[in-house]
Structure 1
Amino acid sequence: MEMSLIALASITVVSILFLFKFLIKESRGSKNLPKGSLGLPVIGETIGFINALEKEQGAEWINKKVAKYGPIFKTSIACTPMVCIVGQAGNRFIHGSGNDVFSTNQPKTIRDLHGNNTIFELSGSRYILVKKAILSFLKPENLQNYVGRMDDLVTATLQKEIKEKDTIKVVDFMKKLTYNVACDILFGIHDVATKEAFLDDFRLVFKAFGSFPIKYPGSPYSQGLQAKERISNRFLPILRKRKEELSTGVLSPTNDVVSCLLSLRDENEEPIPEEVVVDNFRFIMIASHDTTAVLLSLTMWKLSRDKQIFSEVLKEHMDILRSKAAATEEKLTWDDIQKMKYTWQVAQEMMRIFPPAIANFRKALKDTNFGGYDIPKGWMVFSVPHGTHMEKDIFSSPTEFDPSRFDKSSKPIPPYAYIPFGAGTHICIGNEFARIETLTAIHKLVTQFEWSQVHPDETITRKAMPFPSMGLPIKIRPRIPT
């Protein structure tokens, strides 16, 4: 009882101090903050927001705020004061402003899981250096060479997954697939035991992103932080071996992303610190794995439910198969990927309705203002894709699923209106890699297999990202050739 009273008193004192800090900041930092609520001391409005996400009602949570306070409002999530700006003009302001106004920093609780040296957290010359290195690895001429390897990886993962099975969970399969692709192509990690050990801990980190961000023994958030440290410790010997292999000429800087980063030299011809490579390894693995798994799972969910969409997709891929048979080329090529236009339109429409990230965050580097309101230095700002994705003046009949919106002959989509990958100078640098991976996987699935949903009424739920609520179990069997 005594310990409980002490703990309660401690929490109360911390809460009062935290609230007092906010009140002081509001009274002296800005004269005209947006309307809204910072919620409870310390936790802010985090609980309500997470509860809404779990029910795939994050958009509704934000819409209620907009209805009450307007398209610019303040809140506090993950122990961080924030300003939400909804709409195309707000997207342009957040994503189009210079690096002297906003940085790509994430809220502290998210940053603690990613690390302090990711491409989101770096600034200045080091940010430019790391970004250029990753972009060089993902440039179009390199991506063309990855198509055949992706074909092999998708085929091998599929064969292993369905061996002696007639039912699989699509979400689990897509996570395995995207993880294998990232390990092989991006990071050059091929040892099965090493990959499995990493994956166990990455799963804990993924789970932590969708949990309440508070540290106590056994909490998902604490387990995620511990897993993050184990990933770092396990990766360091790999990093140092790569460094040695680079110095002896066994590896080249173009071998994988890690080798590319280790080969960097700053303006003083010094290598970047190991912690920068480690943090970006974790970050890129998370970004390349979960977001693409989301897109693939949701696309399969849609194809399972919509016969017309499925028929159009199947026709496109069967046409590619027939053309390849005439050319006696078995593996997919870069030219084949470019022919999958309708399939990518379906994927784009899925991301319009179910964007992988509910929000895109930035941090104010100086006092600024927008729409007549002040935004204090140090506060986070965020845009929400659904604010324009579901705007009827931009996308007619926005609740209808219509892939033709993304046909080049259709009405052009205004800049900063479609932002599943972000926008501006900080747009996701892996979006083309994700496109190739998505199209390769869909091609193999629709041309080689037939399937049906186990639960036809399965809905979408969201933790950090949206997934079919039951993991999308399907009955699957090889397609009979016609």
Structure 2
Amino acid sequence: MPFLLPLFLFCLILLLPIYLLLSTTRKLPQNTPPGSFGIPFIGQSLNLLWAMRANTADEWIASRARRYGAVSKLSLFGRPTVFIYGQTANRFVFCGDGSKLSNQQTDSVRMVLGDRCLLELVGEDHKRIRNALSSFLKPDSLKNYIGKMEEEVMMHLHMHWHGKSNIKVMPLMKTLTFNIICSLLFGVERGSVRDTLELYFQEMIEGIWSLPLNLPFTRFNRSLKASAKVKKMLRHLISEKRAQLAAGASSHQDLITCLLTSHGGQLASDDEIIHNVMLVMVAGHDTSTILITFMVRVLANHPEIHAAVLAEQEGIKKGGAFLT
């Protein structure tokens, strides 16, 4: 029995700081919105991540709005956060003059993507980079990319779909989307460079929405290491594209060459190019993958829709050998 007292004291010393951390409340201003910061550092991050993984994030958001109203407080990814919900909130965020709010992402997103991407820039820097990205997406520019996209799709179908009786659509759409991204954003042809870049990109994107715990063997730690490798590869590509432009190559052959061209009289820095290319990679990858996957699901489950779409595509095909 004598050993029980030291053991009890040890447990007390170990658990007391944790108890104080969890039970201590900070004195907040009286006009602070309703809600709770939850467990220190973790907050509501795990609940949101679980909802995102289960594809129930919309329900999670609506449930919180019903409980606390359109404005509430919470803690996400180690940071105190204000939650606002509804059309009025959207208008306030996206149509404001920037005097009340400025762009700022979670620590995990900023550390993985970089602090010179469009999500972080404000004022003239934001306008300059936005204009550079917009020039890449002008209708006249998009015409030049359709042939590349069709080539990637045809090759993908030949390699992964033709002759197969069972298809796992989602993983294949990830591969297709990434190949199109590589072709349009970087002008990287199929081969070892593209394969390596895809491997690092997948590791990077897995930890971009996670608790920013930069500890060995954590998903966030792996994401940061992969991000560093992606940035190193992009820096090498920038050097190659800069040399091609000097030799007379088109400034709209891919996104990197477009960003290397002056916009508003000022060139984008290498860090701005790298961080914004990575942003476009992440923004376009999962969204396009999920959308195309659900399109295929609709076509598979509704024969009448499949027949109508097929007839439409056959009509387009009669107009010429290639898409316009």
Could you tell me how far apart the structure 2 residues matched to 1:324 and 1:302 are?
A: 22
In the other structure, the counterpart of 1:331 is 322
- Structure 1 segment 10-409 matched on structure 2, within 5 A: 12=17, 16=21, 23=26, 26-27=28-29, 31-162=30-161, 165-249=164-248, 251-264=249-262, 269=266, 271-305=267-301, 307=302, 310-322=303-315, 324-325=317-318, 327=319, 329-333=320-324
Alignment TM-score, normalising by the size of structure 1: 0.60
**What fraction of aligned residue pairs are identical, expressed as a percent?**
26
Q: Identify if the C-alpha distance between structure 1 residues 9 and 158 changes in structure 2 by more than 3 Å, giving closer, same or farther.
A: farther
CA distance in 1, matches of 2:58, 2:315: 43
2 CA distance for matches of 1:263 and 1:316? Answer: 40
Deviation string for 1:330-382 (max 9, x for gaps)? 2222xxxxxxxxxxxxxxxxxxxxxxxxxxxxxxxxxxxxxxxxxxxxxxxxx
Q: What SS is found at the alignment partner of 2:315?
A: helix
SS in 2 for 1:165: coil
Q: Distance in 2 between matches of 1:78 and 1:238?
A: 33
- 1:19 deviates by 9.4
**How many matched pairs?**
312
User: What is the match of residue 399 of structure 1?
Assistant: none
Where 2:143 maps in the other structure, the secondary structure is helix
Indicate the structure (1 or 2) with the bigger Cα radius of gyration: 2
Q: Is the 8 A contact 1:79 1:109 kept in 2?
A: no
Give SS of 1:73's match. Answer: strand
SS of the aligned residue for 1:290 comes to: helix
Give SS of 2:82's match: strand
Higher helix share: 2
Per-residue displacement from partner, 1:54-102 (whole Å, max 9, x unpaired)?
Answer: 2222223223322221122111111121122221112111211122322
Q: Mark the CA change 1:165 to 1:313 in structure 2 (over 3 Å): closer, same or farther.
A: closer
CA displacement, residues 255-302 of structure 1 (integer Å, 9 cap, x when unaligned): 2111111223665x5x33211111112111111222101111122223
CA distance, structure 1, for counterparts of residue 122 and residue 316 of structure 2 = 48
How many Å separate the matches in 2 of 1:132 and 1:70? 37
Instruction: Give the letter for the 2:305 counterpart.
Output: E
Call closer, same or farther: CA 1:10–1:298 in 2, change over 3 Å: farther
Contact 1:19 1:41 in 2 (8 A): no
More strand as a share of residues: 1
For residues 169-195 of structure 1, the C-alpha deviation after alignment (integer angstroms, 9 at most, x for no partner) is 111111111111111122211141111
Pick closer, same or farther for the CA change 1:19–1:261 going to 2, 3 Å. Answer: farther
- Report the 3-state secondary structure (helix = DSSP H, G, I; strand = E; otherwise coil) of the residue aligned with 1:209: coil
Paired residue secondary structure (1:168): coil
How far apart in 2 are the matches of 1:180 and 1:41?
Answer: 41
CA distance in 2, matches of 1:274, 1:322: 45
Structure 2 CA distance for aligned equivalents of residues 279 and 147 of structure 1: 25
Partner of 2:3: none
Aligned equivalents of 1:66, 1:224: Cα separation in 2: 32
Distance in 2, matches of 1:115 and 1:196, equals 23
Q: Structure 1's 132 and 10: CA in aligned 2 closer, same or farther, altered over 3 A?
A: farther
Structure 1 distance, partners of 2:14, 2:234, is 41
TM-fit CA distance, 1:311: 1.6
Q: Which runs of 4+ in 1 moved over 4 A?
A: 8-13
C-alpha distance 104-11 of structure 1, shift in aligned 2 (>3 A):
farther
